[in-house]
Amino acid sequence: MKPLEVFVTERAAGEIRAALRWWRANRPAAADLLAQEVRSMLELLRAAPALGVRARDARIQGVRRALLPRTRYHVYYRVEASSGRLDTLAFWHTSRTGPSL
């Protein structure tokens, strides 16, 4: 299978930016860890989109989530097979109730 093109929605991009700002301000000893985990996970999902599990309570069909294990964030996404695209829909910390999708 050819790697998918990764598209990050405005919503997910805003959530990632906010999380990165918080992380850098509050985790100075590992300031780049979250950014590294996001990049690594999106690259992994590009090649292996079935890696994540089906998201519970999602109203949008086919939504999956993948855990960033060291930072405890979830990437919510879905695959648009017809266009060869992985849409990143939301970025949410595990301590919070999942996003409304």
Residues in the chain, how many? Answer: 101
Helix, coil or strand: residue 26: helix
Q: List the pLDDT tens digit at each of the 101 positions of the chain.
A: 688 999 999 999 999 999 999 999 999 999 999 999 999 999 999 999 999 999 987 788 899 999 999 999 999 999 988 889 999 999 999 888 777 77
The CATH code of the domain at 5-93 is 3.30.2310.20
Q: Which helix (H) or strand (E) holds 76?
A: strand 73-80
